[in-house]
Amino acid sequence: MSEMMNSGRFGATAALALRYRDGDGERTVWPALIGGELLVDCGYPGQLDALGRAAAAAGAPLSGLRAAVLTHHDYDHVGALAALRRAYPSVRVYASEDDAARVEGRAKSRRLEQAEALEPNLPPEMKAWSRGFMARLAAVEPARVDEPLVDGLRLGPAGARALATPGHMPGHFSVYVEDDGLLIAGDALVVEEGLLALANPRFTLDMPRALESTSRIAALRPKAALCYHGGLWVGDVADALGTLLRRAGEAAS
Ligand SMILES: [Zn+2]
């Protein structure tokens, strides 16, 4: 892993590297901290300490945190939320209404529903992994959400606003940091081997909607995208997404 992957900053936003073990390897997810006060996503269960260290290393300790936005309720994005709320009770938490019901434990995780639906048709060698995955999803500690995200909602620093990007999940939101032209994509986009890529179809509950959301993102002409899986990608986002959308269109026709 290169040194560049260990940190990242684009204008007012610090990309915080959180590493986790995945089978034999190590991967990284990338929460964002805007202006030292607005967090976007917060890592797996048990990652609050790592999140705090990453924020401090970026010069913005979590004691300065005012708000946290959840792009959606997958456990890699909200796993550390309950611990975060206990440690920083004054932090205001935002999520879409659909996701808030699941973060708060009032409705079943859509990822768990998907895994349960797929389970009967899995090959035998995948079953143990699938059961472990479902157990990890079911074990995520519920946590309170303070305010629903709506499209265009102003979130504070650097002109940050909520951008509805459904597809990966129906309530998925991204954050657009307008002053810097930075799109914080959550899982609406990914970076794979240094290249910007569409949402992973395996984990995307509604791919046509995800492609519409991709067009919405491209229309903003961002100068960079910070993807939770893959990190910061700096360049002509609209141009890169235009190519990906054309290819997806050709494959579908
Ligand atoms: Zn994710």
Strands, sheet with 173-177, edge to edge from the N-terminal-most edge strand: 160-164, 173-177, 182-186, 224-227, 231-234
Ligand 1 midpoint to CA 72 (Å):
8
Ligand 1 midpoint to CA 31 (Å):
10
Ligand 1 midpoint to CA 174 (Å):
12
Q: Which domains does the chain have, with CATH numbers?
A: 3-252 (3.60.15.10)
Ligand 1 midpoint to CA 151 (Å):
21
Q: Report the share of the chain in percent with pLDDT over 90.
A: 90
Q: Measured between alpha carbons, how far is 82 from 169 in angstroms, rounded to an integer?
A: 21
Q: Measured between alpha carbons, how far is 175 from 165 in angstroms, rounded to an integer?
A: 9
Residue 2 is predicted with a pLDDT of: 36
For residue 162 the two structure tokens come to 């909520």
Ligand 1 midpoint to CA 73 (Å):
9
- Phi and psi dihedrals of 9, rounded to 5? -145, 140
Residue 21 is predicted with a pLDDT of: 85
Q: Measured between alpha carbons, how far is 210 from 215 in angstroms, rounded to an integer?
A: 9
Ligand 1 midpoint to CA 35 (Å):
23
Residue 63 is predicted with a pLDDT of: 96
What size, in residues, is the chain? 253
Looking from the CA of 245 toward its CB, the CA atoms found within 13 Å total 19
Ligand 1 midpoint to CA 76 (Å):
6
Average pLDDT, the chain: 94
pLDDT in tens, 119-176: 999 999 999 999 999 999 999 999 999 999 999 999 989 999 999 999 999 999 999 9
- Average pLDDT estimate for 201-224: 96
Give Cα 136 to chain centroid, integer Å.
18
Ligand 1 midpoint to CA 41 (Å):
9
Ligand 1 midpoint to CA 103 (Å):
14
- Could you tell me the pLDDT band of residue 235, with boundaries at 50, 70 and 90? very high
Please, which residues have CB within 8 angstroms of residue 183's CB and are 6 or more apart in sequence?
A: 163, 174, 175, 176, 177, 189, 217, 220, 222, 224, 225, 226, 237
Bridge-based pairing state of the strands 67-69 and 92-95? parallel
Which of 20, 87, 79 lies closest to 45, judged by CA?
79
Ligand 1 midpoint to CA 186 (Å):
7
